[in-house]
Amino acid sequence: MEILYASLLGFFLFLVIYFLYNHKSGGNANHPPGNTGFPVIGETLEFLSIGWKGHPEKFIFDRIAKYSSNVFKTSLIGSPVVVFCGVNGNRFLFSNENKLVRVWYPHSLDKVFLTTTQTSTDEEGFKVRKFLPNLLKPVVLQGYIGLMDTNAHSYFVNYWEKKDMVVVLPLAKHYTFLLACRVLMSIDDPNLVALLEKPFAILFKGVVSIPIDLPGTPLNRSIKASSFVKKELLVIIKKRKIDLAEGRASPTQDILSHIISTSDDNGNFMHEEDIAGKMVGLLVASHDNITSVCTCTVKYLAELREVYQGVYQEQLEIVKSKAPGELLNWEDIQKMKYSWNVACEVMRLAPPNQGAFREALMDFTYNGFSIPKGWKMYFNAFSTHINHDLFPEPQKFDPSRFEGLGPAPYTYVPFGGGPRMCPGKDFARLEILVFMHHLVKRFRWEKLIHDEKIVYNPFASLEKGLPIRLFPHEA
């Protein structure tokens, strides 16, 4: 009986908290319409489950219709959030970066990537972004093309050739992780790559989840995976510092060396554990998003024979222009215009990451609604990417949308926009195009699961990993 009374009391207290929470968050008529759901959990479960079922846009469009508004409030990943939709919402957030709003990351991200200085992830992310553009300029990126070409050739020889059937998603993950280790840290030891790669299957899933750190929860597993990776990276960092001091490594050989060798405005160098946290974040950024695009590109090329043929002909012309053994170069990449239009259309229909968060730096008004300082905001790519007013026949795959000047500003946002445009956009372009080049010059293919869906977990991927049957081109 005591257990029953305790349970009833607990349930009653939960209802009181739930009522007060929603009353507090929805009591001001000037705030955007919406529902923040249950405490802590909010509407996160619905947001995630809709993505798992392959209809992530439904969360956004259902609420736009329900509230008759392109701005509404909800609660995601442990925080009340105002969702900004449409071109105007994107324009407002991107054009007011570091004026009215700033980038914000869920607290779960701090738990996964927490540094020794205990600063938040957004502060540490700002420090990294200060020097990343210098490492990712076109003149620097040109030096990566030969490396990417060589690695892609070995990858396809080892994992694709002489196979009748492959499952694309895990192979694409391996491809992007191999290349990330090589470019970011000059690591090509297969045993070390395998040791680091295994935890990445679970590392980022916990960030976009219910923010509860208990044994067995996604967040808890993610924190453990991150700790393991950072421990191994510390060994690599310590060795690199010795190699730099003794002249066996160069400060400009890769991003790791650059971070180790670069001081802040006060002449202080980053702590080793902070560097490890930054490298985990960079590995995630250069791994999961590109994996998503590569996998979804294989799906669409399997379904759309005329699109595949256009990519194949473009890449075949480049193959014919090369001497035996000659590597791809910058000029070759510039010729891959149709192939990049195809990849862009893939990212329109299946943006690798649905959106990103911001935080209000001060009180302001948007569309007549009051947004108090400290409130969190979120933009979602689907609110414009599949809007029929912006993209006629939005569900139709049409690479010609990206010819000429391409989509109107703030309508196409897989890399964000404004000052927070992803600094790795051009790097991603190179990696995706080199992948497409090596794939289509070797094979045509067909899907083995006809109706396999694109799902979000949390990045865009294929429900069953996209098994395909390969048909090598005749020599």
Q: What is the DSSP string of 167-231?
A: EHHHHHHHHHHHHHHHHHH----HHHHHHHHTTHHHHTTTTSS-----TTSHHHHHHHHHHHHHH
201 or 67, which is more confident: 67
Q: What is the DSSP string of 130-181?
A: HHHHHHSSHHHHHHHHHHHHHHHHHHHHHHTTT-SEEEHHHHHHHHHHHHHH
Q: Mean pLDDT over all residues of the chain?
A: 86
Q: What is the pLDDT of residue 106?
A: 77
Integer Cα distance of 275 and 253 in angstroms: 16
Integer Cα distance of 37 and 81 in angstroms: 11
This prediction has a pTM of: 0.88
Integer Cα distance of 30 and 80 in angstroms: 16
Q: What is the pLDDT of residue 441?
A: 97
Residue 47: count other Cβ atoms within 10 Å of its Cβ.
Answer: 25
State yes or no: 344 annotated in a binding site.
no
Tens digit of pLDDT for each residue in 229-239? 999 999 999 99
Integer Cα distance of 154 and 167 in angstroms: 18
Tens digit of pLDDT for each residue in 169-205? 999 999 999 999 998 899 989 999 999 988 877 776 7
Q: From residue 261, how far is each of 61, 131, 135, 280, 285 by CA, in Å? A: 47, 12, 13, 18, 22
Q: What is the pLDDT of residue 112?
A: 75
Q: What is the pLDDT of residue 134?
A: 63
**Does CATH place domain 28-472 in 1.10.630.10?**
yes
Give the mean model confidence (pLDDT) for residues 36-59: 87
Q: Where are the domains of the chain?
A: 28-472
Residue type, 180: A
What the block records as the tokens of 187 is 């690591």
Q: What is the pLDDT of residue 209?
A: 67
Residue pair 444/147 in contact (Cβ under 8 Å)? The answer is no
Q: What is the pLDDT of residue 13?
A: 41
Tens digit of pLDDT for each residue in 25-46? 444 558 999 988 887 788 888 8
Q: What totals of helices (H) and strands (E) does the chain contain, helices first? A: 19, 12
Q: Which residue has the tokens 């299957």?
A: 201
Q: Please check the confidence at residue 3 and state whether its pLDDT lies above 90.
A: no
Of 370, 359, 340, give the one whose Cα is nearest residue 434. Answer: 340
Q: How many residues does the chain have?
A: 475
Q: What is the pLDDT of residue 29?
A: 57
Tens digit of pLDDT for each residue in 327-385? 999 999 999 999 999 999 999 999 998 999 999 999 999 999 999 999 999 999 999 99
Q: Please check the confidence at residue 133 and state whether its pLDDT lies above 60.
A: no
What the block records as the tokens of 397 is 């795959």
Integer Cα distance of 292 and 301 in angstroms: 14
Tens digit of pLDDT for each residue in 405-461? 999 999 999 988 776 677 678 889 999 999 999 999 999 999 999 999 999 987 899
